[in-house]
Chain A
């Protein structure tokens, strides 16, 4: 980054950066140019800031901000990416979410086995707005936050926890609601609308909660292995439906408020990441490295090809029809 300083200092700094590139270590909180090496650094989460055409990828405790154009231009997704990075004080980053006005970034994670944490950053400045050591009813939760999602309003968010809790929090960290009922690790939680929320986890269920009183409204019980991700989808007629992804190799389509399983599709191997390509199709990354395109609402597999990535966790559409995987 450039600002006013003596030239000799500038040269010295450049030399320093070159020399220290191999170390890749950053003092806390400093944005600096670094390289993300997909073959070595394991990406745990990612998102696409469509307005600014920036891609945010999280590795163990670092956020990497890359330019979509540069990435498009690069030959393969496995070559090193130059960009900016911020080191955080978490040990593991599990999820990222950008508010609908693109002004606030949530980072979920914590210290595995010890504590959970959610950080809220101003965006795009990446200034830390608030850091919350997650608690439930005042007592610290002793493991990581597994997922976090903004509500439409951008004022509150929902978090899911390794401990089995699901919580809704305001931006200042106060707990608004808590939902108890999962009998195991909750892997994902999303807002459904202003009145309801959905969560899923190791106990193979998807649970629908009423936010006002914290009551369990529905428990969707068809998956035969852990349910790992939820997506909200609006059908062409405008009806909101729920898509779930599970380690039983299925994707399932539900009408959650009435508890009906509409359809499911069996994949060849375990799905690890899922995202919309367009309003009528999904892309599903599987642990075999294959990526399949699945149509909506019929959940038919249209096409499959290799992602050229093994042990992938994240997929981002950086341009219409162009996907990158890490």
Chain B
């Protein structure tokens, strides 16, 4: 969609309730259709049951801003220059499939990936599209839905005895990734610190200098005694995290060799992916790594490839992504963790097929791409395609709701189970999504 919003309002979080709730999704159900053809959520079939729970952990690489599908996983050849954009293509290890030329390392690993090229959504505004992509629900003014990470954290709380939080986010919060009505115990634990920085530490994890573990224990007990009407021991997660040495160690990147660090790339995203790998090793169910900056409305070659004007080697979003993600996938595979770790790389929408007059691309939710890897997913396949110029899905359109449902099944979460909001409303974990059979 080419919207000419002024920049200051583009990220307005308060635009909930503007369009989306009454919009129809490409997949079918709207509230306005009286001659209703309700697509019933299909129950788990036999093949779905086999895939159920194949992923124990998930690493979500959230590409914030809406990455251009044409400059990443769905580049076009033999199209007018105004569609092609500044980057060329590179062949991948899957015959007939090409990635953008800057993704050459990932291209070599394409045979382990699943690429969806026919994602489609009606929402072209950041706050709304983020929520849809991450929760599988069209945003509503009445309710904040929980993100995939929060749902995973919520479902894994039983039997979770480790002190580490079940949902960790690196480095800083972004819209749509929260727990919504599930409450703060399922919110991601944000590092709020850049893993690439030498000063990286999880703030306040070390005991305050004048205190000691015994005193903390006493404080905890006292609090438990006076807390009125609470069903849970307050601050339980925090106390347990503080008490755990193992937790402290996992966040210490200096325990990795320099060689490993360099393999991932020494910039923020690379080191964040390295930290994600360490967390997955400790069986943390869900890790979100945010790579911001994909909202390239102007002069996109600079943020995408170069990183800054005049850079000799490209250190922009795509090369950084390429290095970190290829390292992550290989590393997980070497450790034998890839089959049970779902890796997702996605953003909230794609970008306009035609390059705009400022050398960039604008929001385009009508078709975009998502990369998946590991977690038992079929390997080396490309699901769906966009049309010649990357404007619309040509076949097999997949909505965020469909994708979330499928990922939930892989993560061992029943999508039709009911959650209950604080005021008593039952909400299914996923509604309206159709599971993608090719991925199950």
Contact = CB atoms under 8 A, between A and B. Distances in A.
Direct contact of A and B (CB under 8 A): yes
Interface of A: 181, 183, 203, 216, 219, 221
Contacts of A183: 79-80, 82-83, 353-354, 389, 391
- In the A-B complex, the 10 residue pairs with the smallest Cβ-Cβ separation, listed nearest first, are A183-B389, A181-B80, A183-B83, A183-B80, A183-B354, A183-B353, A219-B80, A183-B391, A216-B80, A203-B354
Contacts of B82: 183, 219, 221
Nearest to B353: A183
Interface of B: 79-80, 82-83, 353-354, 389, 391
Contacts of B353: 183
Give the interface centre of B79, B80, B83, B391 by most chain A CB atoms within 10 Å.
B80
A216 B354 CA distance: 17
Main SS class of interface, B:
loop
14 contacts: A181-B80, A183-B79, A183-B80, A183-B82, A183-B83, A183-B353, A183-B354, A183-B389, A183-B391, A203-B354, A216-B80, A219-B80, A219-B82, A221-B82
A33 to B, nearest CB: 45
A221 B83 CA distance: 14
Contacts of B389: 183
A198 B83 CA distance: 20
Contacts of B80: 181, 183, 216, 219
B406 to A, nearest CB: 31
Contacts of A221: 82
B184 to A, nearest CB: 47
Contacts of B391: 183
Q: Which of A183, A203, A219, A221 has the most CB of B within 10 A?
A: A183
A52 B80 CA distance: 45
Nearest to A216: B80
A203 B352 CA distance: 13
Contacts of B79: 183
Given A183-B354, A203-B354, 12 more contacts: A181-B80, A183-B79, A183-B80, A183-B82, A183-B83, A183-B353, A183-B389, A183-B391, A216-B80, A219-B80, A219-B82, A221-B82
Nearest to B81: A219
Nearest to A207: B80
Contacts of B354: 183, 203
Contacts of A219: 80, 82
Contacts of A181: 80
A34 B391 CA distance: 46
Nearest to B389: A183
B258 to A, nearest CB: 49
A216 B79 CA distance: 11
B358 to A, nearest CB: 15
Nearest to A224: B357
A183 B80 CA distance: 8
A77 B79 CA distance: 47
A222 to B, nearest CB: 11
B132 to A, nearest CB: 27
Contacts of A216: 80
A200 to B, nearest CB: 14
A203 B2 CA distance: 13
A183 B391 CA distance: 9
Nearest to A182: B80
A213 to B, nearest CB: 14
Nearest to B78: A180
Nearest to A203: B354
A181 B80 CA distance: 6
Contacts of B83: 183
B233 to A, nearest CB: 61
B426 to A, nearest CB: 43
A314 B20 CA distance: 41
A221 B82 CA distance: 11
A21 to B, nearest CB: 41
A144 to B, nearest CB: 19
